[in-house]
Chains A and B, each alone.
Chain A
């Protein structure tokens, strides 16, 4: 999300709740990119990302009782709302059936070396999408959105240690999946 001081966001929120459309537009343009990309990285579907973005900001405009600034930043709140919507949408569709307890073989060899850039991006994207949801969301938030562990832990309401371990396991799963996909393509 674009860098914005919490005070800026708070002022804009007050103006938005008072009916100022310009304030809403500024807030939307400031935060929509992160919400949209998060939904897209989590679901792999633009229609879900559209829907999640719309629902997230609808909730924000609905009123003051939806967001309490004393409990965290607006961006964390929006990520949290978007996450709930994404999980609901994925629950509805269940497009990927991934095993959470997949065995992770020991790393060996240069598994990503031979992929061309576009293939590599697509392979990694598919690999992320096929990760079990708890690993996928920490990979998306920590690696793709570059949020720090504490922010992600607060968002997921789990200890920082859990975020670290999920990220470690998620990355290992990614390497393993990418190597497997490379084997299949050979």
Chain B
């Protein structure tokens, strides 16, 4: 390094250390003001986004509820938890008695096969389920494409509803 290089280095160091070392305070003030404004508008935008999302979700739920056929909704009372009947303490009985007491199956009850409900395909796959007997208007049979006599449309009919593990109805069969 010759003397000119050395002196140039010294001069450059002097330049680096001279003059203003930072922006005027007004720049910081302007930037902070801008930051506050942006933060304010950002909060408003986030609030509006949440309100919008909530409105869309509510609209979606309402649309879904309206789109579901009303007929397949069992009456509220029939969704009540079924109490397990109290079984009396058993006494040992003779084999003959058991045979004698065996109840014949009711030959009069005729059921259709289970029909999948329209919205069942979009639900989670059925892992296990339970069958609940309900009473519905006969018009509910239209939901699964069965013919209904117009004169008897208001009559009530018994039906077995297959509920999935999530408690939602998957299929239905009608009992005659």
Contact between chains at A19 and B43 (CB < 8 Å): yes
Query: Which stretch of A6-14, A86-94, A120-128 is in the interface?
Result: A120-128
Question: Which residues of chain B have C-beta atoms less than 8 A from A112's C-beta?
Answer: 4, 7-8, 11
CA distance A50 to B31 in the complex (A): 11
Contact between chains at B31 and A61 (CB < 8 Å): yes
Contact between chains at A107 and B4 (CB < 8 Å): yes
Contact between chains at A50 and B24 (CB < 8 Å): yes
Interface residue B68 (Cβ < 8 Å from any Cβ of A): no
Contact between chains at A175 and B8 (CB < 8 Å): yes
Question: Which residues of chain A have C-beta atoms less than 8 A from B11's C-beta?
Answer: 112, 120-121, 123-124, 178
Contact between chains at B20 and A171 (CB < 8 Å): no
Interface residue B151 (Cβ < 8 Å from any Cβ of A): no
Contact between chains at A21 and B36 (CB < 8 Å): yes
Smallest Cβ distance from B74 to chain A, in angstroms? 49
CA distance A110 to B4 in the complex (A): 6
Select from chain B the residue with minimum beta-carbon distance to A54.
Answer: B27
- Number of B interface residues at 8 Å Cβ cutoff, please give it: 32
Question: Which residues of chain A have C-beta atoms less than 8 A from B32's C-beta?
Answer: 21, 24-25
Known contacts A54-B31, A145-B16, A33 near B21 by CB under 8 Å:
yes
Interface residue B127 (Cβ < 8 Å from any Cβ of A): no
Task: Please encode chain A, from 37 to 53, with 1 for each CB lying within 8 Å of some chain B CB and 0 for all others.
Answer: 10011000010011001
Interface of B (DSSP majority class): helix
Instruction: Give chain A's interface residue range (CB within 8 Å of chain B).
Output: 35 or more
Contact between chains at A144 and B31 (CB < 8 Å): no
Interface residue B42 (Cβ < 8 Å from any Cβ of A): yes
Select from chain B the residue with minimum beta-carbon distance to A29.
Answer: B28
Question: Which residues of chain B have C-beta atoms less than 8 A from A110's C-beta?
Answer: 3-4, 7
Contact between chains at A32 and B5 (CB < 8 Å): no
Interface residue B88 (Cβ < 8 Å from any Cβ of A): no
Please give 15 more A-B residue pairs, beta carbons under 8 A apart, in addition to A25-B32, A113-B7, A178-B11.
A28-B31, A32-B23, A35-B23, A36-B27, A37-B22, A54-B27, A54-B31, A113-B3, A121-B11, A124-B12, A139-B12, A145-B16, A171-B5, A171-B8, A178-B8
Can you sample 16 A-B contacts with CB below 8 Å? A19-B43, A24-B32, A24-B35, A29-B28, A37-B19, A49-B20, A53-B27, A54-B27, A110-B3, A111-B7, A143-B9, A143-B12, A144-B12, A146-B16, A171-B8, A175-B4
Interface residues of A (CB under 8 A from B): 19, 21, 24-25, 28-29, 32-33, 35-37, 40-41, 46, 49-50, 53-54, 57-58, 61, 107, 110-113, 117, 120-121, 123-125, 128, 139, 143-146, 171, 174-175, 178
